[in-house]
Amino acid sequence: MKRRSELNPSAKQVKYFLIALIACLGLVCLYYGSSFAPGSRRSDEESSASDGTDPVYGGFARNRDFDELHEDQEHNPEIPKSIPICDMKFSELIPCLDRNLIYQLKLKPNLALMEHYERHCPPPERRYNCLIPPPLGYKIPIRWPASRDEVWKANIPHTHLAQEKSDQNWMVVNGDKINFPGGGTHFHNGADKYIVSLARMLKFPDDKLNNAGNIRNVFDVGCGVASFGAYLLSHNIIAMSLAPNDVHENQIQFALERGIPATLGILATKRLPYPSRSFELAHCSRCRIDWLQRGGILLLELDRLLRPGGYFVYSSPEAYAMDPENRRIWNAMYDLLKKMCWRVVTKKEQSVIWAKPLSNSCYSKRDPGTYPPLCGTDDDPDVTWNVSMKPCISRYSSKMHKVKGSGLVPWPQRLTAAPPRLEELGVSPEEFSEDTSIWHFRVVEYWKQMKSVMQRNSIRNVMDMNSNLGGFAAGLSDRDVWVMNVAPVHSSTRLKIIYDRGLIGTVHDWCESFSTYPRTYDLLHAWAVFSEISERGCSMEDLLIEMDRILRPNGFVIIRDNPSIINYIRKFVTALRWDGWISEVEPRIDALSSSEERVLIARKKLWDEDLMLM
């Protein structure tokens, strides 16, 4: 037998080749490991000396084939064992509504048109790459329904509005809590009394603004802390309460902390991300909007959103004050709305209520050349993502049911009744019914999985990140929660069915950050969201960090996707600190399963202060 030193030359060549190959693989692993590792905390000097980028930003590398990533974490440098925590100054970061970014990127939004309050998302190289910390002293939010009237001051340490609106009963600082008496700019004595007064103005049965279930979806623009929407809930009305991230500090954050449906947004230059004919009633209580600007284009956007016969409640000095300037504005608004075929239904004290026409017939009777014109037949009023507002009236389609409310049955029957607009999607009533049944079963199974760890009333704000026809939200109808249904851009046309069912939602591109404050949802449901953005070449890791930003401590994520994606996401759970409780199951195959699926449910930990100060 030969000794090692006596091996033949060919054996030595194989040996040297293997050594070289191992060395090359090690260098490759080192290179890709540095590409995938999250940005570490660096000093300001180190940051500026290297590439001039902010240590908060950087983002993960784009996804690679899943098969390359399914190794144990200790052997897989692409999977971080931890993700840095952002500086405390970013505790309220909203990446696509960060005005500091506008200045840093030297953008030049038109301030007069409020473009600086619209979305401006960071480019990939400037996406933040750290977990948003809660403020010091953060507590698990007070649970609904008590939260309607009080929140922990430590969770939203802003008291500016309490002083500025002290005479209007918006909010009151009371020790370690902030209380909400239910007042507003034009309803100092309480939203509940104001709502009854509106019902009486419209002569609705029993002084109920829901009008026997025929008014369900309300759009409250310039909503403040959303007390109007809060008190509508007891009338079986759900409001999309909208306000910008402006000088009125954190009003939408207060609304969401209270457990009230609300979202960040502004009437500026882009269409709002809601389909046409979504709301039975729009409301503006001293909302400080110049409705006459640019030929009344903001009123035309409101017209697009209202259903046939829908109401516009306007409570503002222009409606009642007798000074010359307010009379001028009122006369101009009245003239414009008359040309849009709106009519005054009732006017009393500080409020006027208009109604939108039921059909196109009034438009055809106007004099030729009357402004505003009808939109062209090539305009799709349901396309909204990054679409500019149009200076024209969105006409009703020829297929539209020419009856009040778009032919919808009253609430709550409309939740499960097949709406007429299904026909526009090519979805049959039978398919709609089957979708509803499947999601009811799926929701029941989710709750069985979480039952052992879910505390009573611990879930209030829910987001369905891929809402489809709204089946997931419908499956939650017997629980005291509300759902923000999100229609991804590739399926945005389906959002009209969400609203026809008496639910609310918005369009969004999950390759970007969502327009909400951190820690505003108790539960996030992501069905096939990761596989969809992965196919588009967007980063799953960025989306995981975004979900962590949105999710409240002790909140849950339910991720339903194909097994390879679930396997990959599972490896980030510890780094994200979502390992407070974990369940992973293989659900039964149903008619909505495009392929084999797995369900991962995880719970986000409440961080301790030592961790936040690291």
Express each pLDDT in 461-484 by its tens digit: 999 999 999 999 999 999 999 999
- Assess if residue 183 is contained within a domain: no
What is the DSSP-derived secondary structure letter of residue 465?
S
pLDDT at 82: 85
Distance in angstroms (rounded) separating the CA atoms of residues 114 and 250: 17
Distance in angstroms (rounded) separating the CA atoms of residues 485 and 595: 23
pLDDT at 95: 96
Residue pointed to by tokens 């009230």: 260
Within 562-591, strands assigned E span 581-585
431 and 548 assigned to the same domain: yes
Determine contact, residues 59/539, Cβ cutoff 8 Å: yes
Could you tell me whether strands 262-264 and 306-315 are parallel, antiparallel, or unpaired per DSSP bridges? unpaired
3-state secondary structure of 393: strand
399 and 434 assigned to the same domain: no
387 and 430 assigned to the same domain: no
337 and 460 assigned to the same domain: no
Sequence-distant (≥ 6) Cβ neighbours of residue 116 within 8 angstroms: 99, 102, 109
- Assess if residue 598 is contained within a domain: yes
Partnered with residue 279 across adjacent β-strands are 306
Determine contact, residues 560/587, Cβ cutoff 8 Å: yes
Of 387, 406, 425, which marks where a domain is finished?
A: 406
312 and 431 assigned to the same domain: no
Question: Of 515, 614, 542, which Cα lies nearest the Cα of 130?
Answer: 542
- Assess if residue 578 is contained within a domain: yes
Phi, psi values for residue 310, rounded to 5°? -65, 155
Half-sphere exposure of residue 526, counting CA atoms within 13 Å on the CB side? 26
440 and 304 assigned to the same domain: no
Partnered with residue 314 across adjacent β-strands are 284, 352
3-state secondary structure of 205: helix
587 and 539 assigned to the same domain: yes
345 and 376 assigned to the same domain: yes
Q: At what angle do helices 540-550 and 563-570 cross, to 10 degrees?
A: 60
Distance in angstroms (rounded) separating the CA atoms of residues 60 and 539: 7
Determine contact, residues 102/109, Cβ cutoff 8 Å: yes
- Assess if residue 113 is contained within a domain: no
398 and 423 assigned to the same domain: no
At 343, which helix (H) or strand (E)? strand 343-348
pTM, rounded to two decimals: 0.87
Distance in angstroms (rounded) separating the CA atoms of residues 595 and 414: 31
- Assess if residue 283 is contained within a domain: yes
Which residues of the chain are under the pLDDT cut of 50? Answer: 1-9, 11-12, 14, 27-75, 401-402, 614
3-state secondary structure of 481: coil
pLDDT at 327: 94
Q: Output 402-409 pairs: Cβ under 8 A, ≥24 positions apart.
A: 402/308, 402/358, 402/359, 403/308, 403/358, 404/214, 404/307, 404/308, 404/309, 404/358, 405/214, 405/280, 405/307, 405/308, 405/309, 406/277, 406/307, 406/308, 406/500, 408/500
- Assess if residue 64 is contained within a domain: no
Distance in angstroms (rounded) separating the CA atoms of residues 228 and 222: 11
pLDDT at 324: 94
pLDDT at 21: 55
The Cα-based distances of 506 to 116, 414, 489, 559 in angstroms read 21, 19, 10, 20
Question: Of 81, 82, 88, which Cα lies nearest the Cα of 133?
Answer: 88
Q: What is the CATH number of the domain that holds 266?
A: 3.40.50.150
475 and 430 assigned to the same domain: yes
394 and 538 assigned to the same domain: no
Distance in angstroms (rounded) separating the CA atoms of residues 162 and 151: 13
- Assess if residue 57 is contained within a domain: no
| Number of domains making up the chain | 2
pLDDT at 400: 61
Q: What pLDDT, in 10s, does the model give residues 508-517?
A: 999 999 999 9
What is the domain range of residue 490?
415-611
Distance in angstroms (rounded) separating the CA atoms of residues 554 and 578: 9
464 and 394 assigned to the same domain: no
Residue pointed to by tokens 């104001």: 194
What is the DSSP-derived secondary structure letter of residue 551?
E
- Assess if residue 3 is contained within a domain: no
pLDDT at 128: 85
